[in-house]
Structures are given as structure tokens and as C-alpha cells.
Structure 1
Amino acid sequence: MASCLAVLAAAVVVSARVLAHEPTVTLLANWTGGDARRFRTAVIEPFEREHGVHVDYQGSNAESQVLAADVEAGTPPDVVVLTGPGELAQYAGQKHLVPLEGLVRNADFAPSWTTTLDDGHVYWFPLKADVKSVVWYPADVRAQDRRRAVHQPAEWCLGMGSGATSGWPGTDWIEDILLQREGPAVYEKWARGKLPWHSKQVEKAWQTWRRLVGAGGDRDLVRRALKTPYGTASEPVRATPRGCTLEHQASFIRTRPAWKHADGRYEPSARLLFGAKTAHAFEVSGDLVALLHDTPQARELIRYLAAAGTQRAWTAGESGFSVHTGVRPGADGSAWHRSLEAALWDGGTAHCFDASDAMPPAVRDAFAEAAIEFLADPDRLEGLLRSLDTLAATRGLTWLPSVCDRTA
């Protein structure tokens, strides 16, 4: 009876909307559970009240697969929020995206966040950004203990699980090691498919990660990393005694219960891992908005999501950062959040987009799978790199024209 009533109630709502001719816009993103509820409260509901447009929101942890199926079926969402500019560039090349000229002001975002493709058009803009190239630790862990822990694989909180996208925490490690050791110019060359995977620089990054996290070593340690979801990898931080003390992860992880409990602090990975006095490069990621179906209500949603006020509302509560020029760093928030926000806006620091996210989807996915296989059996590295080189050389792949905002 309860099921029948639920179906009936849903039918009544749908019927009411049809009879009232309520305009609707469909939106696909990767926020689910509590994140989806916060997004609805902070962003969707104010839009619906202000514009009288219903937002049919779908959140999925397998967003790329859902979008690909919808596009193939000819029923794509009106608007999508994706983390991968490489994936969006592929859809743009296939004529599935609508250019954003006239909807988003060029002056509102730096060119590195609104990439102009080879056809001269811009197809996406960031709703939220996160800072990578950082290592988190509990507030009571002293500097000398952190530097000692770096070289002990068991001290790293590592979880490779992420459903359909498992493996990406490993790609983050390898990308960041390459960026910090070789610099933005080499990093961008590789992320754009111009530097072979079997090059000495890239191979050295994999081997460095092997030594840091003990790839192929302690079976129990490796098994734990392979089976643990990335979102719970930090849980041992609040155990007694602690099961791990360091986590190489993006800024969003600081809002997880374990790091709240431990009053998590961070060091730039360049400083902690490689002894650099300052960090001159940060890897960054973003939730990027694109338009697939050009309708009046979809255009309204695009303008709304690109507005400074919307971005400020969504990134409030330390859930991320806005890179909208109208949302400059402020005095609010915790010290760690203000510090990372300042690093994100520092004109003297290079900011390079997550390399795997910037790569064509096929290469991105193969990279993530290779990271999992390497962690289990690092002796397979040569074969993995050769396979990635073969895949990257496939004709017809779409590579971004740039990845870093500066490479000098």
C-alpha cells in the first residue's frame, strides 16, 4: 500500500506540472546523498523560487557512464556538471555541447578555467574548485614526526575505491609527483599527450609512488588500500592507536568526519615529500558546467550557476572554492581554508588541472586501472606504460590545448 501511495503521489506531482505547463530543466551531476541535499538547498531551490523553473536533478556516482548512455540514446540532460574537461572536450568535438558565448562573461573566470578549444569556442565553466598537491595530518603530529612518517608506507591513509572510477586516488599521486619533481612544463606536455608514458620523467613518478606507499610490498597493506573506498581511507586517523597519520588528498577531504575529529592540517606536497621551501605549483580540479540542450530554461540555469552569488552559496561552509572573479578570498572560514584559497588565487603559483581529468576519457580510465594494477604488482610497470602509450597514440582522441595557467 505504501508503494502504491508513493507512486500515486509522484504521478499527481507530475500531472500537476504537466497541466500547469511548469518549465523544467534536467541537470546531471555526481553529488549524491548529503552532498545532493546540500546542493539542492543551496543552489537548486533558490533557482526554482526565483525563476519558476523546476530542476529535475539526477545525481550519480557513475556519472560518466550515465551521460554516455543518455547521449547514445538521444536523451541527454539539458545541463551537466562534470569533473573532466577532457571528457567535455570530446563531447564538444562530437557536437553534443552548446557554446557558452553570450551566457558566461569571459571576465568572470580566468582562461585556464574556461578553456577555448581549437574551434574558438568555450563550452564549460567551473562551479566549484578544489586544491590538490596537499598532504593532511592531525594537528598534534609534529613536523619531525611527519617527515619520518612520509617514508613509512603504513602511515599513509590510502583508499583506491571509488565505484566506477576506482583508481583515481593513485593517479592523483602520480600526477602530483610528476608536477612537483619535473615542473609545470613537463606536466602539461604529458597531460596533453606530448610526452610518452614510458619517458624517464613519468616512469620515475610511478617508481617514487611505489616507494612512498609500498606498492607490491606488505600484502595486508596493499590489500587494504585496494579494498578501501577513498572516502573512508582517513578513518584510521581517529583510531587509538592511529592506523595512519598522513593522507595525500584534495581539499574536499578535510570536511570528512575523521579529519574534523583530528583537526586536520595540511602541508603542500612539494614541501613535505620533496623538501621544497615553497610550493610553486598546485594541482587543481573543478566541477565544470556544460550545456547540452539549448532551451530557455537551460540558459537561465547556466547564467544562474555562473553567477557570483550562486557560487558563493555553494562553496560556503568550506565545501570548496569558487574561482569566480567576483568571489575573492575573504576573512571568513578556518585558517586552513583561507590558506588554500590564497594559494588558489596566488598569481605567482602555477595551477595545473588534474591531468587524468584533462585526458581523453579512454586514456583517463586506463590510467586509473593501471594505477590499481601497479599498486598490486609494480613489476608490471613497463607493460602498463607501453599499453598507455599505445592507447594515447590512437587517432581521433581529443587533447586539451592547455592544462596549466602558467608553465614557466
Structure 2
Amino acid sequence: MAVFARPHQAFVVAGVLGLAVGATACGSDDDGSSRADSPECAVYEQYQGNGGTEVSIYASIRDAEADLLEQSWEQFADCTGIEIDYEGSGEFEAQLQVRVDGGNAPDIAFIPQPGLLKRFAQAGKLTPASAETTAMAEENYAADWLRYSTIGGEFYGAPLGSNVKSFVWYSPTMFQEQGWSVPTSWDDLIELSDRAAADGIKPWCVGIESGDATGWPATDWIEDVLLRTQTPEVYDQWTTHAIPFNDQRVVDAVERAGTILRNDRYVNGGYGGVKSIATTSFQEGGLPILQDECALHRQASFYANQWPEESRVAEDGDIFAFYFPPIDPAKGKPVLGGGEFTVAFDDRPEVQAVQTYLASGEYANGRAKLGNWVSANTKLDLSNVTNPIDRLSVEILQDEQTVFRFDGSDLMPAAVGAGTFWKEMVSWISGKDTVAALDAIESSWPS
């Protein structure tokens, strides 16, 4: 997973830096030319002819994860002679805009917000993907993903990494000791919550504090519930403001989420009552599960890296997760998630070659072998995904029954998705009336 600019998508990766993907197998001659005719480089034949060039990539992925990223394309660079100059920044969102406005745009950027991608595309700053990149993306990704980087009929780039947000974390040991089964429906989930509460265990623990981004985990709850009570088309209408933010269907979804989040019988295990949710950090939100102080914590796949280092994340381990179950079976298997998109600000041949390669199955599998990686690329071989929660995420993304929708707040204008939506969810958790909170968000939507 990437260390994204958005705080709710950040995590720490450890223990995986010693891996490699045969990165130096091809090697380079002393004069800088690549040994493109070596057997190891045969897979990169279609990208040849660009030796001695350089491509810059800018993203929010940094630290240990950036090291893995650079390893993931090392063999490609060695075989093709294209030097990739990567820079990761914690100020990616703001600085990308500054660089673009100043005429210093990177060749390629990994953008995790479709709304930001759309803004650059509509401003004429992005270069539409080449025919080769488009064909590669269409071959390897479901249409649900490609629509987020298609603006005004132009396709701008394939996804790179992904995450699944529709997860509920739990302790397999606690479930076994209590005789509980993993719920497969909303009714089962509520029945389990009632049973835990009756046994003196707060069923849920929740944390939505995240510095300047406090409130975002609550927005994920609303998005997941809305996807389970309405059609994907209604969700799309909501995120694009084709229906008002305070539509009755949205009100109903928020109220349903409130049957858990604003229920003192259910929350907040290990921390206090309902109001403690707003002051509990998202990083610490689920940790009481390990002390048997709560049973369930709804959070994304990237939360795997928030558990203590000694915790084993596995179906028979200390902690694991199950798919957030459906509410209305007629709505299929909706999945909320996120990821970043590989877009270009230049159309030089070497830039197009790198962009096409990053959309390939070869890249997805090479990156997966390094560990800690989830991708919606349909060519990704599950045998290359060793982390159990990453494997479960990939299985869900590759399931033909899955109906994927991107994090709604990332799709909305920043003033709403990263502004009033977060803020009003904090007020709502603290007791504000549902309709009043949604009315306030609706009134903030840019005209």
C-alpha cells in the first residue's frame, strides 16, 4: 500500500526491505546502454528504444514504501535504459499544484484523489493516455476503476495501488472463545453486537480523530452503508451532487450508521461513551480488541499496519478482518475503497512507456513479490500476495460479483469531501441532529 497524502490512507511498512525482484539481473554496460537482448529483459521488449532518457515521478509515497516502489521498477529501468527519478512528499497535494502552476510539473504523478485528477484534466494540464497505455489498462482493470480517470471522454491513466475499506476487524480468538461466527449479513452483525453487549462486552470501538482531518473515518461509515442500502447509481449521483447531499436516502443511511455509532450500548469499547469517538485517534481506534475490551472495528485494509508489531494478522492469528456484510442482498457485493492513479503531464515516448508499464500485469506481480501491496490489476497472481489481509483484499477486488466504488469524500469537491463532511460528522457524533448536519453539508456545496 502507498503512504498517501491523505492522512486516512497513511501507514508504516516494516520488515520488507530485504526483498528484491531480480532487479540487477539485466545490468547495464559501462557506457550506460542496457543489455536489452538478455533473456531477463525479454519481457520489456515493447518498451525498448528509449535508452538514455529520464522520467520524473512525483507522489505522496515515501519512507520505506518509497524504497519498495523504487525497487519495483529497477529491472525495467535497467533493461530499457530509462532512468526513473522518483520523489515522494508529505506535502504532495499542495506542492503538485504549485509545481504545475509554476511550469515545473513532474512527468508522471500518482494521484490518489479522482477529484484532484479531474481538476488537472479540466484545466488542460494532463496528457491523455497513449493508445498503448489505454489498451493495457482496459485489459487489466475493471471498468469501475477506469471511470475515475476518464474525464470528458478522455482516459488519463490506470490505477496503481489500491485499498479496500469495507472491512471489520476482529479477534479470531475472542470469536472462538465466545462461540461467535463471522456475520454474513447486516442482521447477523446487529445480532452479534446485541449478544456481545448482553455479555458485557462493548461490541464496537471507533476512533475518528485525525488531526486536521478529524472526522474522515465517520464519512467512510456513511459511504459503506449508503452503498449497501442504495444502488451504485444513487451513490454516484450523491458524490457528483446529481442528488442533494441531504437527500432522504442519505439521511436514512446516516441514521442506520447511527444505530451503531451513536448507541451507548455498542460503543466505545476501551475508551468511553459515544462522545469519546471524536477524541479517539483513528490509529488507536481498534486496539482495545486485543485487550478484549471490544469485539469489532470497521476500518480499511491499511489498518493492518496499526496493530502492534508482535500481533499476527491472519485468519487464525491475533487479529483479522471480514468483509463488511451486505444490508440489502439485492445490492450485490459493494466494496468501498481507494487507490492512486498514474497520470502524465508530458507525452514524450519514454513517459508513455513508463506509464504503460505501470499498468501491466508484469509490474503488478513484480511489486507484489516485494510485499505489502494490493492492486485491482486482474493479472495479479494471488500466489505473489503473501500478506493475508492483502490477499483477502485482492480476492475481493478480483471477485466478479464485487461492485467497486471509490471513497466518496475523495470524489467530492475538497470544500465538501475534505471540509464540511468531515466537520459535520464530528458534530453529528457529538449529538447534532442528522438532518441539520446534512443540511449544513448541502449548503456548503460549491455552486
TM-score bin, normalised by smaller chain: 0.7 to 0.9
Q: What are the equivalent positions in structure 2 for 1:198-209 lying under 5 Å apart? A: 198-209=246-257
Amino acid at match of 1:327: L
Match of 1:247? 297
Question: Is residue 270–residue 278 contact of structure 1 (8 Å, CA) maintained in 2?
Answer: no
- Check conservation: 1:129, 1:284, Cα contact below 8 A: yes
- Pairing of 1:209-228 with structure 2 (within 5 A): 209-214=257-262, 220-221=272-273, 225-228=277-280
Counterpart selection for 1:139 from 172, 188, 205: 172
- In 1: Cα distance, 2:62 partner to 2:330 partner: 39
1:364 Cα deviation from its structure 2 partner: 1.5
Change (3 A) 1:246 1:163: same
Task: Check whether the contact 2:73–2:363 (CA below 8 A) recurs between aligned residues.
Answer: no
What letter matches 1:205 in structure 2? Answer: A
- What is the SS of the residue equivalent to 2:405? strand
Q: What's the CA shift for 1:101?
A: 2.8
The answer to whether residue 329 in structure 2 is matched with residue 293 in structure 1 is: no
Give CA deviations for 1:99-154 in whole Å, capped at 9, x if unaligned.
Answer: 00324123232222222745321012111222222211111122638756646695
Q: Indicate how the Cα distance of structure 1 residues 93 and 149 shifts in structure 2: closer, same or farther if over 3 A, else same.
A: same
Partner of 2:103: 74
d(CA) in 1 for partners of 2:276, 2:66: 29
Q: TM-score, normalised by structure 2?
A: 0.71
Q: Secondary structure at the match of 2:325?
A: helix
The equivalent of 1:111 in structure 2 is 143
The structure, 1 or 2, with the larger RCO (C-alpha pairs under 8 Å, 6+ apart) is: 1
**Structure 1 residue 89 and structure 2 residue 118: aligned?**
yes
Structure 1 unaligned regions, length at least 5:
1-16, 396-408
Amino acid aligned to 1:282: V
Q: Deviation per CA, 1:337-364, whole angstroms, max 9, x where unpaired?
A: 4444332222233222222222233332
Is 2:318 the partner of 1:266?
no
Cα pair distance change 1:277/1:181, threshold 3 Å: closer
Alpha-carbon separation, structure 2, partners of 1:33 and 1:157: 30
> CA 1:355/1:289 → structure 2, altered by over 3 Å: closer, same or farther?
same
Q: 1:331 to 1:95 in 2, by over 3 A?
A: closer
- 2:409 maps to what in 1? 356
The one-letter code of the counterpart of 2:144 is S
1:211-263 Cα distance to aligned partner (Å, 9 max, x none): 3223899795567544444344333333xx33443221122223444463653
Tell me the distance in 2 between the aligned counterparts of 1:201 and 1:62: 36
- Report the Cα offset of residue 174 of structure 1: 0.8
Equivalent residues in 2 for 1:4-403 (5 A)? 23-41=53-71, 43-104=72-133, 105=135, 106-115=138-147, 117=150, 119-142=152-175, 144=180, 147=189, 150=193, 155-162=203-210, 165-214=213-262, 220-221=272-273, 225-238=277-290, 241-258=291-308, 260=312, 263-270=318-325, 274=327, 280-316=333-369, 319-330=372-383, 333=386, 337-366=390-419, 367-375=421-429, 377-379=430-432, 381-392=434-445, 394-395=446-447
Task: Report the secondary structure of 1:158's partner residue.
Answer: coil
Aligned residues: 369
Deviation at 1:77, TM superposition (A): 2.1
Q: For residue 82 of structure 1, what is the amino acid of its counterpart?
A: I
By how many angstroms is 1:98 displaced?
0.8
Query: Helix, strand or coil: the match of 2:342?
Result: strand
Distance 2:345 2:274 in 1: 41
Amino acid in structure 2 at the alignment position of 1:293: D
Find the aligned partners of 1:388 and 1:225 in 2 and give their Cα distance: 21
Distance verdict in 2 for CA 1:46–1:339, change over 3 Å? same
Task: Name the CA distance, whole Å, in 2 between partners of 1:28 and 1:227.
Answer: 34
Sequence identity of aligned pairs in percent? 24
Amino acid at match of 1:362: A
Deviation at 1:334, TM superposition (A): 5.8
TM-score by length of 1: 0.77
Change (3 A) 1:199 1:231: same
Q: Is the 8 A contact 2:166 2:300 kept in 1?
A: yes
Q: Return the letter of the residue paired with 1:313.
A: G
User: Deviation of residue 307 (structure 1)?
Assistant: 2.0
The answer as to whether partners of 1:154 and 1:213 remain within 8 angstroms in 2 is no
Aligned AA (2:304): R
Equivalent residue letter for 2:354: L
Structure with the higher helix share, 1 or 2:
1
